[in-house]
Amino acid sequence: MENSEILTVEAQGNGVAVMNLSSYVAGGKIKSDKLLEVRSPYDNRLVGTVTQANSSHVQQAIEAALKSKTPLTRYERYSILEKARNLFLNRKEEFAQIISAESGLAIREARYETGRAQDVFLFAAIETLHDDGEVFSCDITPHGKARKIFTLREPLPLAVCITPFNHPLNQVIHKILPAIAVGTPVILKPSEKTPLTAIKLVELLYEAGLPHYMLSVLLGPTNEIAEPLVKDPRVSIVSFTGSVAVGKLIATAAGYKKVILELGGNDPLIIMEDADMDKAVFLAAEGAFRNSGQRCTAVKRILVHEKIKDEFIKKFVEKAKEYICGDPSDPKTMVGTVIDEPAAEYLENVVKKSVEKGAKVILGGKRKGALMESTVIIDVPRDADMVVHESFGPLAPIMSFKDIDDAIKLSNSTAYGLSSGIVTNNMEYALKFVKELNVGTVNINEVPGYRIERSPFGGIKDSGLGIKEGVIEAMKCFSYVKTFSLPW
């Protein structure tokens, strides 16, 4: 396999040369004069280019994936994932630099993301070796028989995976590796805002020995690439992570096939009157500002018991001052840019609109290009756009509630149902939240985003169909159960 062509080997202050990458159809680079330019959201410098695919490449990628091949054994799949893991360990810093350069995320966040990806490699390799079958004895009822029923999992013939910009590596790896682990070929359509990390990962997997038919990566206009892929009846599963609007379009367009939707969130951090105040302040700041607030599970609403609201706000503002935004390549920068200037303008605007409705900005609120200051807003009305819809950036709107029932009502009041964090030491409160919050996850004394890469993860309502991801659950998504029985 050819190495990516390096156009310029100038470090430009962040260690990333301009990269000329390509879409791939089953290991083959696409020849085309249509180039997608990827620019830094921080200073608009060219970070890389990607050769774009067209609709004929979609057909080629589907045909290549479906050509009958000898299935990979468990050991072969494990060996590829393990080799890829080792290659990745040597290139973590390179990946972190690319993530930061193309997304504007602070380099400390990009490095954290590579640590998570390392875990996904580990768990996918381990899970490949686990037997996934079950055995049911049939002589266990009065009308039973001397038989046994067995299950085994078979890979789906072809998966299409469509990913968002906000974790350029982790969103992609959470789909591709579980598919490889079960032996399902993938056509990947990453975000056009952050394609470079995704393509570098694909190249790394080819280098680790992944048969080329197992993976293609296509960038190009939505009507030529993503839409035909979603609709094609030869595709057995579409696994999508992204916005609610696009997720619902996909649900309608996909037709008779499996659809996995991991969509937006509007997660609360609920701080009860008995909370450990320092913990609450720390979790609120980490949850709202990490990854520039661009996590599906970022804290997008801080709900505080009215008895402790004033004390919390005073301490939280002091903490929030530490989350200074700036040059993403500086290791001291806590908050990088959001994905682009229009996204920052949206955030600035949604803050202004909430102020018009009576909210007060007590820290931040200003924007420069794609840099949005870490912003603390109090007295946010319950019907302000900022808290009704998902605000994907470093905003910390604070609202108060009078008791646990009010907190639950407020928390459940949006269309979303992804995750939640609760700060309390009261077991009765904790149990009531677990039972009554309409969300996919309830984390007690943690941020909503807490997870390990193999645990089930995903939301309900507009956040998803209740089908979970995480390495183990995603492996189930990319395979189906075959049942057989034998006389015994």
With CB under 6 A as the contact rule, the residue among 14, 22, 51, 166 that binds ligand NAP is 166
How many C-alpha atoms does 356 have within 13 Å on its Cβ side? 9
161 an active-site residue?
Answer: no
User: Does residue 239 bind ligand NAP (CB under 6 A)?
Assistant: no
Cβ-Cβ contacts under 8 Å for 416 (sequence gap 6 or more): 244, 264, 265, 266, 267, 390, 459, 461, 462, 463
Stretch that binds ligand NAP, among 14-22, 161-169, 349-357, 420-428 (CB under 6 A): 161-169
With CB under 6 A as the contact rule, the residue among 41, 265, 336, 448 that binds ligand NAP is 265
Report which of 484, 478, 480 is spatially closest to residue 153, judged by C-alpha positions. 480
Please report how close the Cβ of residue 239 comes to ligand NAP at its closest, in angstroms.
Answer: 11
User: Does residue 262 bind ligand NAP (CB under 6 A)?
Assistant: yes
Between 183 and 220, whose beta carbon lies closer to ligand NAP?
Answer: 220
> Which of these is catalytic: 161, 296, 325, 477?
296
262 an active-site residue?
Answer: yes
With CB under 6 A as the contact rule, the residue among 43, 192, 273, 345 that binds ligand NAP is 192
Instruction: Map the footprint of ligand NAP across residues 444-463, applying CB under 6 A.
Output: 459, 463
Stretch that binds ligand NAP, among 106-114, 160-168, 426-434, 471-479 (CB under 6 A): 160-168
User: Does residue 473 bind ligand NAP (CB under 6 A)?
Assistant: no
Please report how close the Cβ of residue 401 comes to ligand NAP at its closest, in angstroms.
Answer: 24
User: Does residue 350 bind ligand NAP (CB under 6 A)?
Assistant: no
User: Does residue 222 bind ligand NAP (CB under 6 A)?
Assistant: yes
User: Does residue 337 bind ligand NAP (CB under 6 A)?
Assistant: no
User: Does residue 191 bind ligand NAP (CB under 6 A)?
Assistant: yes
Please report how close the Cβ of residue 449 comes to ligand NAP at its closest, in angstroms.
Answer: 10
Which tokens is 265 given? 């969130």
Number of residues that bind ligand NAP (CB under 6 A): 32
Site pattern 379..418 for ligand NAP (x: CB under 6 A): -----------x-x-------------------------x
Stretch that binds ligand NAP, among 40-48, 147-155, 244-252, 422-430 (CB under 6 A): 244-252
**Are the C-beta atoms of 38 and 196 separated by less than 8 Å?**
yes
User: Does residue 189 bind ligand NAP (CB under 6 A)?
Assistant: yes
Between 130 and 248, whose beta carbon lies closer to ligand NAP?
Answer: 248
With CB under 6 A as the contact rule, the residue among 19, 117, 230, 303 that binds ligand NAP is 230
Please report how close the Cβ of residue 159 comes to ligand NAP at its closest, in angstroms.
Answer: 14
Report which of 456, 388, 451, 449 is spatially closest to residue 419, judged by C-alpha positions. 449
User: Does residue 163 bind ligand NAP (CB under 6 A)?
Assistant: yes
> Which of these is catalytic: 82, 262, 348, 373?
262
Beta strands 421-423; 416-417: pairing state: unpaired
Q: List, by residue number, the catalytic residues.
A: 262, 296
Which residues form the interface with ligand NAP (CB under 6 A)? 162-166, 171, 189-193, 222, 226-227, 230, 241-243, 246, 249-250, 262-265, 296, 390, 392, 418, 459, 463-464
